[in-house]
Structure 1
């Protein structure tokens, strides 16, 4: 497993993943801060009001797209010259190969989440936010990362079987709107993209009760296991495709 993870990192060298990981959080934060400044008189919640503006763009749109891009990147080399055949011929289980890719995506998204949290704090300082920095924001960022793993398991399955780089990203964007609809219908726990909305407190800053919090993590674990099993099964047939 560790050898498989180590083998994934060189594939990202000379790519522009670093630029993507930085630019999307920066752009979403800038848009959110601009909205906050223009509507500051009506937004009286301090740190929480700032979060409503920046997380709406980042958590609802930019982060799912970022996850899809990361998944497409870690599968791009294998699609070139039918390299799936070589990869699957290695003396490593298919599950280990998939989990290595998922781990790499998880680390990349964790870095993006940490960067976004740091920039959010810096923006709050620049905008002279009053009061202490709310620890709820840290929890929302962590839950967003947990939900990202479930989405990554799905997106990897798509990127494994779809040669096009852009198609899985387009599917992710469509899934975002489907997740938003399910969230509005109070069915957010039934779809990974809705879980991201719930986890990051994008549309409501109401804290989850202990029971809701437990259910959130259990549903993400369920989706992670099911979607990983589905993606591993798809990977097994790549050589024959």
Structure 2
């Protein structure tokens, strides 16, 4: 099932969208860093560059990117009536949804690798030393990816529920902005908001490792969101076709 999903992804515009969104997001943050570099202390520039580079990419562009790829993936099934065809083969609906989540999560893993590579490239161009924190950045990219799986699961449910291409993308953009607003409302709300989990996981704001309570909260919340919305997505398909 996952191989089949990847074949559909390769034939779509998703690979191009993946590169363009991450390139724009990381370049925007890098430009902000370059404009303010003169006021930064030596020894902190690699962390500040990381925070600036991943901030726009993970807080704004990534949720919208996920909204787009989930809508594209689901429209394959809606436009060609593939949902009905999939139901004719002896595969449980739960496995069909799981294959969708797994394939799109792998796409987002590629997305996080691109962000990391763009960061390293920008650091080399700007001559910012990053070796002291490179392992941290790699680990933070992994937890940022885990946070993206939460949004993938939510957006997949929304796309299945609405059966529409544009509206789920609009919802992802609105929720991305709401996630940004939670930064100004309060830290507690920001930490639990599902569309803020990518930037929390990638440490784009804290620029420091998780404390033990924050680590437990991050893993618990993302596990809960993924399981909960996965169940809703399966239930929605059952209500539509069974």
Q: Which runs of 4+ in 1 moved over 6 A?
A: none
Q: What stretches of structure 1 of length at least 5 have no aligned partner?
A: none
- Taking structure 1 as the reference length, the TM-score comes to 0.91
Structure 2 residue 229 is the aligned partner of structure 1 residue 239: no
- Aligned match of 2:175: 175
C-alpha contact 1:189 1:219 (8 A) present in aligned 2:
no
More divergent stretch after superposition (108-117 vs 160-169): 160-169
- Taking structure 2 as the reference length, the TM-score comes to 0.91
Q: What stretches of structure 2 of length at least 5 have no aligned partner?
A: none
Structure 2 residue 88 is the aligned partner of structure 1 residue 79: no
**Partner deviation per Cα, 1:105-143 (whole Å, 9 max, x = no partner):** 011000010111012112111111135241222222111
Secondary structure of 1:41's aligned partner: helix
The Cα shift of 1:81 comes to 4.2
The Cα shift of 1:151 comes to 0.9
**Partner deviation per Cα, 1:36-92 (whole Å, 9 max, x = no partner):** 111111233211111121111101111111111121121111111433222223210
C-alpha contact 1:88 1:236 (8 A) present in aligned 2:
no
- Aligned match of 1:19: 16
* Residues matched between the structures, number: 237
Q: 1:160 to 1:76 in 2, by over 3 A?
A: same
Distance in 2 of aligned mates of 1:225 and 1:215: 15
Q: 1:131 to 1:223 in 2, by over 3 A?
A: closer
C-alpha contact 1:24 1:66 (8 A) present in aligned 2:
yes
- Aligned match of 2:211: 209
